[in-house]
Amino acid sequence: MEIVDGPAAVSMDENAFPVLTEDQVRCVSDYGSTESLEGGRVLYSRGATDFDCFLVLDGVIDVYQEGRPGDSPADRTVAVLAEGQFTGELSLLHRNKSLVQAVTRDDCTVVRLRPAQLRTLMANEPELAQLVLRAFMQRRLRYLRMGLGTVLLAGPPDSGDMLRIRGFLNRIDYPVRQLDPAEDEAVEMLRDYDVRADARWPIVICRPGSYMQNPTISEVAECLGLRERLDDLGTVDVAVVGAGPSGLAAAVYAASEGLSTVVVEGMAPGGQAGTSSMIENYLGFPLGISGHDLATRAQVQAVKFGARIALPYTVEELHCDRTPYVLRMSDGEELSARTVIVATGAHYRRLDLPELPRFEGNGIHYAATALEGSCCQDEEVFVVGGANSAGQAAVFLSQVAAHVRMLVRGPALSRSMSRYLSTRIEASAKISVHTRSEVVELRGSGHLQSVRWRDDSTGESLETPSTNAFLMLGAVPNTAWLTGCLETDDKGFIRVGGDVADTSAYPDGSRPTGLESSVPGVFAVGDVRSGSVKRVASSVGEGSVVVAAVHQALERG
């Protein structure tokens, strides 16, 4: 579809900007309110976080991007919406800042849908839900390609803090333009934003007239309008801690069954699986799917049913001695919930080397995504570990690096590694596997420059020039915040069901259900659970089945 308006021609993808049928318009009208609006009315501005969806019954709505001085309205036009078309994109569902502005061109008749009304429509009308979600996702991709709402990120490209902030923005699919302050073009642009020469890198510019110097992830999220206000939520039915596969699955099923659900995540949706470049053995995806894409789809699905995703929030403590339970965040905010699902997963074990901290983010990585891969072009890199995550990283990095050395402490690749991965690794001329080998020292000035490693079977030590090493060693549960609250095994993983020894918190001699912990109404799913098999599919399964037990806990009161 192409709508020509004066000097500008706006190309409109019919998947992104569909025209509803008369029956569909009538159906939508039943969920909203019909209003007459005067011409020139701003329905919502760029940067708004509390805005509605509008279906055009009569008239035209212009959708604009932010312009430069001297731009005409035609220059700024992103879309022209006429009868049967509707406003909005994923920012509306996620309660994020709008990337565009919507203005009535002339007198209009519209159906206004508040976000809650839109979610009710999507829950009750599956055909319309698919149409709206497809349109919102396509528009988001279109706006990203256009660079709308782009964050400017400036600093030395190999800086650990640059990777930290860029990694967060990439994982939440937020448009970002990276600037190297050593380049003339960047210097001129930063001067236009009044960035001082002595500023602390990296610089983040997310709104005109101000900039942040080496901000925290929370500060970046606040600037972008991503932070959900927890103190406005009251007491929810279910609080899910962690937005990995198990947490997102729990959110989808809990919200779809009518439970008020909030997911609290410390970084970005996806968890450890979200950093996987390709998952090839997940049911239903014969061509494979990246962990990032899987997490993005799951997040949209959870939001579609009304779940709220609160990020980035780090939970510091669970008050489990009273109900409703209270989750206290690192910034002091609190969330009250009748039940809690712990889905915080695990992190990779760190090497016991005194110099490790100064190289983390400066050559030492715990994820292998396209962002980290861009640092490894045509050089030799190390992957330390022998399980699935290490294998996926090695295969992915072999596409960009000159060579990948895998260091495995055991006599062979882990027996838990999927056969398709080990076969691919063995067949690759760009990957060499060194068994019974370990890193003994990291060397470099500021940034990693070489890795000294030892072959324990021969005792030989070698030093190999490399500026990037990926550590994917074992699993350490993210349960430090639960100390003194839930029963764990000797490695810190949460015991559930029949494995719980102390059931004194349960009345009348009852015991915890399958995924219930030592505290009634508090559950553990996914990698954080004692005895879990550390697979995406099993984590998703646990996240879905735990909701039946949540209902039982809510009925118990």
Q: Is 267 left (phi over 0), alpha (psi -120 to 50) or beta?
A: alpha
CA pair distance 536, 434, nearest whole angstrom: 27
> Between 74 and 318, whose confidence is greater?
318
Give the model's pLDDT for residue 143: 85
If pLDDT is split at 50, 70 and 90, which confidence band does 80 have? very high
The CA-atom distances, in angstroms, between 358 and each of 214, 430, 476, 519 are 17, 29, 21, 39
Q: 8-22, 89-103, 178-192, 417-431: which range is least confident on average?
A: 8-22
**Which pLDDT score, from 0 to 100, does residue 68 have?**
62
Over residues 472-487, mean pLDDT: 93
- Cis omega before residue 245 (within 30°)? no
Average pLDDT (168-175) is: 87
Radius of gyration of the chain (CA): 25
pLDDT at 10: 55
Across 293-330, b (16+ Cβ under 10 Å) vs e yields: bbbbebbbbbbbbbbbbbbbbbbebbebeebbbbbebe
Three-state secondary-structure class, residue 163: helix
- Nearby residues of 159 by Cβ (< 8 Å), 6 or more positions away: 201, 202, 361, 362
* Residue 9 scores a pLDDT above 70: no
431: nearest Cα among 440, 441, 422, 439: 422
Alpha helices by DSSP H, 388-530: 388-397, 419-427
pTM: 0.89
Average pLDDT over residues 462-473: 96
Chain centroid to Cα 71, Å, comes to: 35
- Report residue 61 as tokens: 């709505």
Residue 504, token pair as written in the block: 């004194």
pLDDT value for 49:
84
Residue 2 has pLDDT above 50, yes or no: no
Residue burial 356-388, b: 16+ Cβ < 10 Å; e: rest: eebbbbbbbbbbbbebbbebbeeebbbbbbbbb
Evaluate if residue 511 carries a pLDDT over 90. yes
Tens-digit pLDDT profile for residues 86-136: 999 988 988 888 889 999 999 999 999 999 899 899 989 999 999 999 999
Quote the CA–CA distance of 79 and 60 in Å, as a whole number: 10
Strands 315-319 and 308-310: unpaired
290: closest CA among 274, 269, 304, 307? 274
Q: Would you state the torsion angle of the CA atoms of residues 544, 548, 550, 551, taken in this order, to the nearest 10 degrees?
A: 140
In the three-class reduction of DSSP (H, G, I as helix; E, B as strand; rest coil), residue 10 is classed as strand
> Tell me, what amino acid is at 362?
N
Residue 434 in tokens: 């060194």
- Tell me the mean pLDDT in the region 472-478: 92
Domains of the chain (ranges plus CATH)? 2-121 (2.60.120.10), 151-223 (3.40.30.10), 230-345+478-556 (3.50.50.60), 349-474 (3.50.50.60)
Angstrom CA distances, 430 to 13, 203, 211, 382, 502, stand at: 42, 37, 43, 12, 51
Q: Judge if the upstream peptide bond of residue 324 is cis by omega within 30 degrees of 0.
A: yes
Mean pLDDT of 449-459: 96
pLDDT tens digits along 368-411? 988 899 999 999 999 999 999 999 999 999 999 999 999 999 99
The pLDDT of residue 218 is 92
Q: Under DSSP, is residue 377 helix (H, G, I), strand (E, B) or coil?
A: coil
Q: What is the pLDDT of residue 69?
A: 59
Over residues 313-371, the pLDDT tens digits come to: 999 999 999 999 999 999 999 999 999 999 999 999 999 999 999 999 899 999 998 88
pLDDT in tens, 295-307: 999 999 999 898 9
Buried b (16+ CB within 10 A) or exposed e, 188-201: ebbeeeebeeebee
Confidence of residue 6 (pLDDT cuts 50, 70, 90): very low
Q: Distance of alpha carbon 224 from its chain centroid, rounded?
A: 15
